[in-house]
Amino acid sequence: MSFVSCRREGAGSGENDGVAHHHLRVGMALLLLAGVAACGSSTHAVPRSAETTGSQSGSAISNTPPPYIAKAVWVTLSSGRSLQVYPTSSGRAATADGAEQEAWHEVLRAAPDAATPGMRAQFDCHWAFARLAEPNKPSWNLEPWRPVVSAQRMYDTRCNPGGPEV
């Protein structure tokens, strides 16, 4: 998976030292934007706010309503267990406030044992980057054996810290 082909010097600060989960999501989004800006390229699109049709109580109303996840299925591969998350077309396009959180709740309803910081971080990375880099990728594969890492490391490894994509 390829998000942005260049990398900013000095970005990132090593392993995650217990930073709150929302900082990880914000950090990954900022890294994507910083990478695009550093490349000086407009070829790496960021989801447009054209997906929204207005606001209500300070949050956007998306024209891509849930469900965002069609299914989440545990499989066993040679590398270990993997949760294959299959986004719906709404899940591939949603940009509304709260859509990512709702999508994660949908994953947990299908696979409650996925509720770990590392799995959530991989999901957030796929939500923020894979939807842009590989919009037609059939599934987002989350592995519980992958280490919990900083947002920069997650970005550098294309959502697959600890080894190649499986």
Q: How far is CA 138 from the centre of its chain?
A: 14
Cis amide prior to 87 (ω within 30 degrees) = no
Region of 6 on the Ramachandran plot (φ > 0 left; ψ -120 to 50 alpha; else beta): beta
Instruction: Give the pLDDT confidence of 121-141 residue by residue, as tens digits.
Output: 999 999 999 999 999 999 999
Angstrom distance (rounded) from CA 63 to CA 74: 30
22-31, 75-84, 90-99, 149-158 — which is least confidently predicted?
22-31
Give the largest Cα separation in the chain, rounded.
48
β-strands 80-87, 59-62 pairing = unpaired
Q: What average pLDDT does the chain have?
A: 74
pTM of the model: 0.67
76 forms bridges with which residues in the sheet?
A: 81
Angstrom distance (rounded) from CA 52 to CA 124: 20
Q: What is the pLDDT of residue 62?
A: 53
The domains of the chain are located at: 62-166
- 93 versus 59: which is more confidently predicted? 93
Instruction: Give the pLDDT confidence of 135-158 residue by residue, as tens digits.
Output: 999 999 999 999 999 999 999 999
Instruction: Give the pLDDT confidence of 65-76 residue by residue, as tens digits.
Output: 999 999 999 999
